[in-house]
Amino acid sequence: MPIIASVSTVNPTYSVQQSDAEKLTYALFKNNFKNIERLLKVFDNGEIDQRYLCMPLKWYRETHDFEERNQLYIEHAVNYGVQAIQKCLNNPTQLDRPISPAEIDAIFYISSSGIATPSIEARIMNELPFSTHTKRIPIWGLGCAGGAAGLSRAYEYCLAYPQANVLVLAIEFCSLTFQKENYTKSNLIGASLFADGIACALVTGEDSAIHTTKPKPKIIGTASKFMPNSEDVMGWDVQNNGFHVIFSKSIPAIITKWLGPFVHEFLETYALTEHDVEHFIAHPGGKKVLFAYEEALHFQQNKTIISREILRNYGNMSSPTILYVLKQFLENNPQSKEIGLMAALGPGFCGELLLLRWE
């Protein structure tokens, strides 16, 4: 079975305290919400202390058209993407030796916050010594489910090609989509929650020439699930000046009712129950989302400690966030044979699950 051999993360330049983000939002929205003080409580109640952004806070006070936003997305994605790949392939705490980009057979590029053709991984391949035969698989539009889905697709690639080494590169600059003149509750909630992040994972087939002596998560199986006619749950409303966030308040309730049966059915396929899961690698979509996970799966809060820690220190970065959580689990060195369950949800509405076993 394929394994996740290395995970890296890169934080954008600007660290922003939640209190400063709240002050900026108040200054921009105070004249357009009658109950702005009450609505701004989402900043205090969201259990986020700080986030990382690709631009200084003053940049978000100004008006920017879609062309400027997207050009910044491309520039930052290439720059930070190169850094994340280099960290992933030269990771002494997780790999026995440095890996050359020339040893990589395929790159899955995951994003939903900007567009580029040629896609970002092609531009990165001009910056690093990849083989000209490296397969490129850009995946756009899966939002918060993207990081987990990227690992699932890399798993399937390595099943088909057991000698393969595959990168999953997830990059989001959610802050570049911020609309300072969009006076909706969805936009205000998004301003309190979303952040920028970059993560890269190396997945290797069971016959790969890359070996490691450290226990690593082997991907045992994956599952995807789609909810029909749910386009209004989350996503983008694309307008002339860029992406406008769609964020339904019903998301926690949907998770509570919909996720539990999905997970239980998935685990039963492998003769497991939620009691066999030692490590729950959950995408922290927000405080209410994590609580909904716990309710749906009958987990105690100790199962979501790491997800809550990532949310507190980084916010919701969309697709890279699950890889930030996974990296922390790797650094905690789970024991051989322990079982992990990875879960992430995204626009569609959809869910992605991975069953992991450390070996």
Q: Active-site residue numbers?
A: 144
Buried b or exposed e, range 256-291, using 16+ CB within 10 angstroms: bebbbebbeebbeeeebebeebebbbbbbbbbbbbe
Query: With left for phi above 0 and alpha for psi between -120 and 50, is residue 96 left, alpha or beta?
Result: alpha
Tokens of 228: 């029909």
- 336/214 Cα distance (integer angstroms): 9
The three-point CA angle 316-215-301 to 5° equals 40
Q: Find the angle CA(115)-CA(116)-CA(117) to the nearest 5 degrees.
A: 135
What is the distance between the alpha carbons of residues 346 and 314, in angstroms, rounded to a whole number?
18
Residue whose structure tokens are 């992991």 = 356
Contact 342, 322 (CB under 8 A): yes
Handedness of CA 324, 328, 330, 335 (dihedral sign): negative
How is 3-70 classified by DSSP, letter by letter?
A: EEEEEEEE--SEEEEHHHHHHHHHHHHTTT-TTHHHHTHHHHHT---EEEESS-GGGGGS---HHHHH
Q: Which two tokens stand for residue 22?
A: 């709240």
